[in-house]
Amino acid sequence: MEIPDVAASKEAEASIDLLAIVLDTNPSQQIVRQNPQNLTQILEAVIAFGNAHLMQKAQNKLAVLSCSHYTTEFLFPLPGRHVELRQIDGQYEAFSLVEKTVKQQLGSILMNAPRLSAPCESLLAGSMSMALCYISRLQRNVPAGVKMHSRILVLTGSNECASQYMTYMNVFFTAQKLGIVVDTCALDKTLSLLQQGCDITNGQFLKVNQLDGLLQYLLWVFLPSPQMRHKLVLPPTPKVDYRASCFCHRELIDIGYVCSVCLSVFCKYSPICTTCHTIFKTPGPLPVKPKKKKKTDKQI
Amino acid sequence: MADTKSGRFASSSAAISPLVQSPENLECKNFQEYLRTRQTPETLEKLYNYPPICLAVYRELPEIARQFVIRILFVDQPVPQAVVTSWGAQRVAKEQMEATSCLTALCVWRVTAIPGGLAAWELSPTFKKSVRQVLLGGGKPWAMTNTLDKDSKPRDITFLDSYAMSRWRCVLHYMVGTGGRNGGTDAEAISPDAVRILLHANLMKRDERDGITITRQGFQFLLLDTRAQVWHFMLQYLETCEERGISLPECLSMLFQLSFSTLGRDYSSEGMNSQMLTFLQHLREFGLVFQRKRKEGRFYPTRLALNVTNKDAAQASTTADEERMQERGYIVVETNYRVYAYTDSQLQVAVLGLFTELLYRFPNLVVGVLTRDSVRQALRGGITAEQIVSYLEQYAHPNMKLVESAIQSKSCLPPTVVDQIKLWELERNRFTYTEGVVYNQFLSQNDFVTLRDYAQSINMLVWQNERTRTMVVQKNGHDDVKRYWKKYSKSGG
């Protein structure tokens, strides 16, 4: 038992850990609307957390993405542009670079954002797929003989909506296939879809009840790399709500109809599958022959 | 009556024993070991006043220890020990113990009592302050980051790399003694200071007959990768720096500032005291920094100085550099033990010659073969199989590395060759040495059998021979066996 453990920890020391943080900066989040100061507080915590990740190992990498209701932008690193920066205080050069870049970039994004009249949902799933793309690009460029472990951390205060269900699922299963861990830190509401994603990819899901100790929560739960986590005692995963959302009305349902060809889920019976256009021959009214009905028990 | 004699007894089995290994092998310490062995708590505390040192120390900690430190970094009260213990999972308790003792040994945290009589851990305030500063900012900027006006002729990374490697090779060439033969110019010579460090480190020795020659530790040094060489060399340098009147904490801090600097960026030496400027000149000589002129207030750190303590980080970043990889990897090892080295450097051929039998030599290619004799000769010279394998791995040709990623193996060398080299080493270590006590001259076979069976029953018997009535008992079992024998003989057995 001893030797594989040592080898594993050596391997972990040598590998590159990439952390992509997806930060929800949508101004229509409940917590931001209540108190705009909260966003600053979250941002400070995220920057400190990102730097703490970089501090763990010299070869660790960090990416920060901002996700809002209309676009996803990289806050760090910025392609091409090399920020000329001299140390102004005792902070490590690389860390100040992260802090300055993220703040500057986010500032300009918020200034240029179009006015919104009604609260809009954040495009979280889209941002996550962007993070996945970024990760897989870096993965391709990793030199031979070096291993890279990647993970995504989503920080959001908005409510997820079932309309992005398909994208979410695609993201989760892609991440699972690529061996990327998805962690979620919910700042306001419990998010059942993201919870599913964390469960699928062996990530951690945490709902933070008060923003004051956010940094400490992040450092405790999300800083250890996934390989490291089994050595620490972390909060147990709560029961995951595995309901699917239907493809017709984007609502979470317990029981529904599933297309036998493409496995699309519908809350109401339709003779033609809207996804794969398969035509179902329905002889007679359904209640008469209930056994022929394409019905699954999706309830967990 | 049995006569007991104390003595050493050799039994045959395969393992390495500290008694036979000569102590003069090259000892490579990492930063953590260096701090543990060379520094007292007071000096450590002094070192922790420098944020760069703290960052380096933090990165050297075991992974669990790093998590513990960061968890209590922002906690102002001491944390009860029981709480800290509960953070780790039960089945890695041993690893956790190691992490805890490491933190204590490095004086990163210390035990305090909290109200209620519980023992608690508290981070060293100096360490805590410095790490917080590194992470979040505040405090004074590091010494070398004064603002500079733009360099009119900035140096790019390729230039710095080649400069650093050429400087470092000078030192290595000097060690092998090939610098002169290659028509070395003045620029290739190394300074008396560097020679003194090599002598101090036992990498070279002064010989009456032919001046300064390389020692066996020196050869082992050559087999290390560049990163480890630089680090070992710097450690030796630091040991001599007090003699020169340069303060150790300042030196270390400077070294780590360089190690955490950005490649390809210029830094200012303004405001450094004269000792630090001397140190900078030494670093310049070994190629850790590039400076155009001695008096110029601007210098560029090179790749040698970056991440000086961490081999893995270096690998991850250097190998990313395609050109550099091409330049470094030149060895192809085949399953038939043939070694092809695409090189014309005397140094590399000399190192390769340490453990291979060289067959042919062409203008840009050397062909050798790994044989039992050649490897055993290297092993006799104190080089370990591990060192040979890691040298071959480190300088493996890029195409070999492609194979590695293709077949998902751990090493890019053919497994047969790696195993065989290790077996050749094991061949030499067939003895285990155990301290023991000889019991002989038993008067009757019965006495002998009784005592032997007793020794066997408590698992202390090392060897026995019924015919000569001789048995050997482990040293720590001697008291027990003797007591038993006294009791046995008194009872008139």
Locate the chain A residue with the closest alpha carbon to B259: A58
CA distance A62 to A8: 23
More confident residue, B72 or B210: B72
pLDDT per residue over A11-48, tens digit each? Answer: 677 788 999 999 998 888 888 888 888 889 999 999 99
- Element counts in chain A: helices (H) and strands (E): 9, 11
Q: Which pLDDT score is estimated for B358? A: 92
Q: Which of A253, A283, A290, A289 is nearest to A268 (CA)?
A: A253
CA–CA distances in Å: residue B56 to residues B35, B168, B276, B302, B376: 11, 23, 20, 18, 39
Which CATH architecture group holds B434-490? Answer: 2-Layer Sandwich (3.30)
Residue B312 has its nearest CB partner, among A13, A93, A144, at: A13
Q: Which pLDDT score is estimated for A6? A: 60
Q: Which pLDDT score is estimated for A3? A: 45
Say whether pLDDT at A199 is over 50: yes
Task: Using an 8 Å CB-CB cutoff, list chain B residues near A45.
Answer: none
CA distance B105 to A95: 28
Most distant CA pair in chain A, distance: 78
Q: How many CB atoms lie within 10 A of CB A238?
A: 12
Q: Which pLDDT score is estimated for B147? A: 67
User: What is the average pLDDT across B202-231?
Assistant: 79
Which tokens hold the place of B50?
Answer: 């420098």
Place of tokens 């080299």: B421
Locate the chain B residue with the closest alpha carbon to A52: B135
Does the distance separating the beta carbons of A141 and B133 come in below 8 Å?
A: no
Q: Which of A60-64, B21-25, B76-80, B429-433 has the lowest mean pLDDT?
A: B21-25
Say whether pLDDT at B254 is over 70: yes
Assess B138–A contact: CB distance below 8 Å, yes or no. Answer: yes
Task: Using an 8 Å CB-CB cutoff, list chain A residues near B261.
Answer: 93
Say if residue A77 is preceded by a cis peptide, omega within 30 of 0.
yes
What string of DSSP letters covers B92-147? GHHHHHHHHHHHHHTTSEEEEEETTTEEEEEE-HHHHHHHHHHHH--SPPPTT---
User: What is the average pLDDT across B320-337?
Assistant: 68
Rg of the Cα atoms in chain B? 28
Residue A96 has its nearest CB partner, among B67, B74, B137, at: B137
Q: Which pLDDT score is estimated for B41? A: 86
Q: How far is CA B136 from the centre of its chain?
A: 32
Does the distance separating the beta carbons of B133 and A90 come in below 8 Å?
A: yes
Torsion region of B224: left, alpha or beta (phi above 0 gives left; psi -120 to 50 gives alpha): beta
Q: Which pLDDT score is estimated for B184? A: 41
Does the distance separating the beta carbons of B134 and A90 come in below 8 Å?
A: yes
Residue A143 has its nearest CB partner, among B70, B92, B320, at: B320
pLDDT per residue over A246-258, tens digit each? Answer: 888 877 888 888 8
Q: Which pLDDT score is estimated for B403? A: 72
Reported as type and span, the H/E element at residue B350 is helix B346-352
Q: Which pLDDT score is estimated for B328? A: 66
Does the distance separating the beta carbons of A99 and B133 come in below 8 Å?
A: no
Which pLDDT band holds residue A134 (cuts at 50, 70, 90)? very high
Place of tokens 């024998």: B485
Candidates B54, B75, B136, B323: best to mutate against A (most CBs of A within 10 A) is B136
Say whether pLDDT at A99 is over 60: yes
CA–CA distances in Å: residue B312 to residues A257, B65, B319, B467: 53, 19, 11, 58
Question: Residue B22 in 3-state DSSP?
Answer: coil
Does the distance separating the beta carbons of B74 and A233 come in below 8 Å?
A: no
Say whether pLDDT at A160 is over 80: no
pLDDT per residue over B81-136, tens digit each? Answer: 888 888 988 888 888 888 999 999 888 888 888 888 888 899 999 999 999 998 98
Which tokens hold the place of B11?
Answer: 């039994």
Does the distance separating the beta carbons of A224 and B67 come in below 8 Å?
A: yes
Strand partners, A19: A62, A151
Which tokens hold the place of A133?
Answer: 């793309």
User: What is the average pLDDT across B201-226?
Assistant: 78
Assess B220–A contact: CB distance below 8 Å, yes or no. Answer: no
Q: Please provide the average confidence, as pLDDT, over all residues in chain B.
A: 81
Residue B89 has its nearest CB partner, among A89, A216, A230, at: A230
Q: Which pLDDT score is estimated for B17? A: 38
Locate the chain B residue with the closest alpha carbon to A54: B135
Cβ neighbors of B336 (< 8 A, separation 6 or more) are none
A·B CB contacts under 8 A:
133
Does the distance separating the beta carbons of B145 and A87 come in below 8 Å?
A: yes
Q: Which CATH superfamily is domain A10-229 in?
A: von Willebrand factor, type A domain (3.40.50.410)
DSSP state of B297: S
Q: Which of B486, B461, B465 is nearest to B476 (CA)?
A: B461
User: What is the average pLDDT across A112-133?
Assistant: 86
Q: Which pLDDT score is estimated for A183? A: 94
Task: Find the DSSP H helices in A113-184.
Answer: 124-141, 165-178
Q: How far is A165 from chain B (nearest CA, A)?
A: 35
Say whether pLDDT at A145 is over 80: no
Q: Indicate whether this complex's ipTM tops 0.90.
A: no
pLDDT per residue over B398-436, tens digit each? Answer: 888 777 666 666 778 888 999 999 999 998 887 878 888
pLDDT per residue over B258-273, tens digit each? Answer: 888 888 888 888 878 8
Does the distance separating the beta carbons of B307 and A89 come in below 8 Å?
A: no
**C-alpha torsion A287→A288→A289→A293, nearest 10:** -20
Candidates A18, A92, A102: best to mutate against B (most CBs of B within 10 A) is A92
Say whether pLDDT at B200 is over 90: no
CA distance B144 to B269: 6
Say whether pLDDT at B5 is over 80: no
Q: Provide residues of A within 8 Å CB-CB of chain B.
A: 5, 9, 12-14, 16, 48, 51-52, 55-59, 86-96, 99, 141-146, 215-216, 219-220, 223-224, 228, 230-233
- Cβ atoms of A33 and A27 closer than 8 Å: yes
1.20.120, 1.10.10, 1.10.287, 3.40.1350: which CATH number matches B31-136? 1.10.10
Secondary structure of A164-231 in the HEC alphabet? Answer: HHHHHHHHHHHHHHHCCEEEEEECCCCCHHHHHHHHHCCCCEEECCCCCCHHHHHHHHCCCCHHHHCC
Does the distance separating the beta carbons of B136 and A48 come in below 8 Å?
A: yes
Q: How far is CA B70 from the centre of its chain?
A: 27
Which pLDDT band holds residue A296 (cuts at 50, 70, 90)? low
Say whether pLDDT at B195 is over 70: yes
CA distance A114 to B142: 42
Say whether pLDDT at B354 is over 70: yes
User: What is the average pLDDT across B365-373?
Assistant: 93
Q: How far is CA B366 from the centre of its chain?
A: 30
Q: Which of B43, B73, B42 is nearest to B55 (CA)?
A: B73
Locate the chain B residue with the closest alpha carbon to A225: B63
Phi, then psi, of B339 in degrees rounded to 5: -120, 120
> What residue segments make up the domains of chain A, in order of their start?
10-229, 243-300
Q: Which pLDDT score is estimated for A63? A: 94
Which tokens hold the place of B259?
Answer: 């190690």
Q: Please provide the average confidence, as pLDDT, over all residues in chain A.
A: 84
Q: Which of A35-39, A284-288, B204-208, B348-352 has the lowest mean pLDDT?
A: A284-288
Does the distance separating the beta carbons of A89 and B133 come in below 8 Å?
A: yes
CA geometry: angle at B269 spanning B267 and B273, to 5°? 155
- Cβ atoms of B481 and B473 closer than 8 Å: yes
User: What is the average pLDDT across B307-317?
Assistant: 61
Residue type, B455: A
DSSP state of A163: G
Say whether pLDDT at A61 is over 60: yes
Does the distance separating the beta carbons of B261 and A91 come in below 8 Å?
A: no
Does the distance separating the beta carbons of A51 and B135 come in below 8 Å?
A: yes
User: What is the average pLDDT across A115-134?
Assistant: 87
Q: Which pLDDT score is estimated for A2? A: 41
Residue A91 has its nearest CB partner, among B74, B92, B134, at: B134
Q: Which pLDDT score is estimated for A297? A: 55
Task: Using an 8 Å CB-CB cutoff, list chain A residues near B303.
Answer: none
Which tokens hold the place of B148?
Answer: 């500079």
Which pLDDT band holds residue B15 (cuts at 50, 70, 90)? very low
Which pLDDT band holds residue B442 (cuts at 50, 70, 90)? confident
Does the distance separating the beta carbons of B320 and A141 come in below 8 Å?
A: yes
Task: Using an 8 Å CB-CB cutoff, list chain B residues near A143.
Answer: 316, 319-320, 325
CA distance B378 to B395: 18
Residue type, B338: R
Does the distance separating the beta carbons of A93 and B401 come in below 8 Å?
A: no
User: What is the average pLDDT across B248-263?
Assistant: 86
CA distance A64 to A75: 5
Locate the chain A residue with the closest alpha carbon to B394: A145
More confident residue, B24 or A89: A89
Q: Crossing angle of helices B415-428/B372-380, nearest 10°? A: 50
Locate the chain B residue with the closest alpha carbon to A85: B147
Assess B92–A contact: CB distance below 8 Å, yes or no. Answer: yes
- Cβ atoms of B61 and B69 closer than 8 Å: yes
Which pLDDT band holds residue A96 (cuts at 50, 70, 90)? confident
Does the distance separating the beta carbons of B70 and A232 come in below 8 Å?
A: no
CA distance B336 to B413: 12
Assess B313–A contact: CB distance below 8 Å, yes or no. Answer: yes
Matching fold, domains B31-136 and B434-490: no
Which pLDDT band holds residue B323 (cuts at 50, 70, 90)? very low
Which pLDDT band holds residue B13 (cuts at 50, 70, 90)? very low
Does the distance separating the beta carbons of A99 and B137 come in below 8 Å?
A: yes
Q: How many CB atoms lie within 10 A of CB B13?
A: 10
Task: Using an 8 Å CB-CB cutoff, list chain A residues near B402.
Answer: 144
Q: Which of A222, A221, A181 is nearest to A199 (CA)?
A: A181
Q: Which pLDDT score is estimated for A84? A: 64
Candidates A87, A212, A228, A233: best to mutate against B (most CBs of B within 10 A) is A87
Candidates A231, A233, A234: best to mutate against B (most CBs of B within 10 A) is A231
Assess B133–A contact: CB distance below 8 Å, yes or no. Answer: yes
Q: Is the dihedral of CA B428, B434, B435, B440 positive or negative?
A: negative
